[in-house]
Amino acid sequence: MREAEWRGRAETQTILAVLDGAEGRTRAVGGVVRDTIMGRHRDNPDIDLATELTPEEVTERARRAGIAVYPTGIEHGTVTLKLGDTLAEVTTLRHDVETNGRHAVVSFGADWAEDAARRDFTINALYVHANGTLFDPLGGLADCLEGRVRFIGEAAARIAEDGLRVYRFFRFSASHGGEHFDVTGASACAEAVGHLGHLSAERVGAEMLRMLALPKVAATLRAMVRIGLLVIAEETLQALRNYERQVGSPTVAGRLALLLCDQPVQALQSGWRLSNELVKTAIAVRAAAALLSDLQTNEAMYRYRDYLGDGLDVAAVQAGWGEAGKVAMAEQLSIAHDLPAFPVSGHDLLAAGIAAGPLLGQTLARLERDWIDSGFALDRQALLLRLRER
């Protein structure tokens, strides 16, 4: 831990010094600690800090030191500090006054063990002193080393505090637990499935998208279906499993394209509050895959040029291609980015005497079809000549 890049960073040490880190009043916590222990690379330098200082004290000290302050969660005792490229989310230690699910009444405190007991999983309840010393009040170190995702205390009680922890249990089991599921935790999640209607689509969707971005998640999705947390057809589950086995870097868009094969677009979008852009991409990947599966290569290249990579991966799963078949299709698609633009426009048809209206659109579509079917070989003159031939 003492050799961790994030801990040795000058910005981190400056923030810790400002917040009495040397005295142990502010410590790193959560994901950055967990992932360091588990040897997992982190792309961003963001860190979570827990502190005995109140949000007001954190804000005042940071501003005096020239550190930017953002009250990102002040009602929960959280402020975000920015120094250079480092973002530090600083949350004051808390203890429960009234337990009321996600809206529990809390007050600020200075008891590190009590703060740990309020967290979700043991692997997320590890703290690191500014000098690199680890504080592990709940046995999270052993769980990290063994890749075990375990609720803190009674699983049902942790879920009652926030039902989203059901989804987080499966996500962390996929990302940090090798898709092995703690029996007690999985059982508590199954019991809670019928009581999660209060969760917002935004929160559920955020968890699901993070899950779908993981390298391996097919077994996790199947486990979620088994307890009724998700509804996915068996054929689609098999396709999702084959997809991640065959694809080096599975994508969210590719997995969504497969999910859209058995679920209405609107239902999936509203259920997970997916952005219009992401849905548009998934639909395009699905359409490209369908064309490639039917060997309509020219059509796929022309209509969905920007989605051919994911489209090819999905098509290979759906069509059952082996590696040789996929490589052969990839070779055909290699010319996609060099395709010329369709050489005929509506102005050309107007100049040729075709009146504006439905006929013009139909004629333009027919010439476009001829051009695609020719392998994009027909030029403007050859296409316009066809107007006189028909």
348-361 average pLDDT score: 91
Confidence tier at 377 by pLDDT (50, 70, 90): very high
pTM: 0.89
Other beta carbons less than 10 A from residue 104's beta carbon: 14
Domain span holding position 175? 149-229
Is 90 exceeded by the pLDDT of residue 213? yes
pLDDT in tens, 292-302: 999 999 999 99
Mean pLDDT of 270-282: 96
196, 229, 262: which is the final residue of a domain? 229
Mean pLDDT over residues 160-179, rounded? 97
Residues 37 and 167 grouped into a single domain = no
205-211 CB contacts, 8 Å cutoff, 24+ apart: 205/271, 205/272, 205/273, 205/274, 207/164, 207/167, 207/168, 207/171, 208/167, 208/272, 209/252, 209/272, 209/274, 210/171, 211/167, 211/170, 211/171, 211/174, 211/175
Residues 5 and 95 in one domain: yes
Residues 221 and 239 in one domain: no
How many C-beta atoms surround the C-beta of residue 210 within 10 A? 16
Biggest alpha carbon–alpha carbon distance for the chain: 89
**Averaged confidence pLDDT in the chain:** 93
Q: Residue 179 and residue 171: Cα distance in Å, rounded? A: 9
pLDDT average, residue stretch 282-289: 97
Radius of gyration of the chain (CA): 27
State which of 121, 146, 171 marks the end of a domain: 146
What's at 154, amino acid-wise?
E
pLDDT > 70 fraction of the chain, expressed in percent and rounded: 97
pLDDT band at 97 (very low <50, low <70, confident <90, very high): low
User: Are 190 and 58 contained in the same domain?
Assistant: no
**Taking the CB of residue 153, how many other CB atoms lie within 10 A of it?**
13
Mark whether 164 and 255 lie in a shared domain. Answer: no
289 and 385 belong to one structural domain? no
14 lies in the same domain as 135: yes
- 92 DSSP β-pair partners: 51
**Domain shared by 65 and 140, yes or no:** yes
Share of residues in the chain with pLDDT > 90 (%): 86
pLDDT over 70 at 39, yes or no: yes
Considering the domain architecture, whether residues 179 and 199 belong to the same structural domain is answered as: yes
Give the pLDDT mean for 325-338: 93
Q: Number of structural domains, the chain?
A: 4
- Nearest by Cα to 227 from 269, 178, 173, 264: 173
Q: Tell me, what CATH number does 307's domain have?
A: 1.20.58
Residue 142 pLDDT = 97
Q: Judge if 332 and 365 occupy the same domain.
A: no
User: Phi and psi at residue 333, in whole multiples of 5°?
Assistant: -80, -5
What pLDDT is stored for residue 44 in this prediction?
Answer: 72
Model confidence band, residue 370 (pLDDT cutoffs 50, 70, 90): very high
**To which H or E segment does residue 87 belong?**
strand 86-92
- What integer is the mean pLDDT of 245-265? 95
- What's the CATH code of the domain at 209? 1.10.110.30
Dist CA 331 CA 25 (whole Å):
60
Pairing of β 78-83 and β 68-73:
antiparallel
Domain end position, chosen among 180, 212, 229: 229
Is the same domain home to 262 and 335?
yes
Residues 109 and 16 in one domain: yes
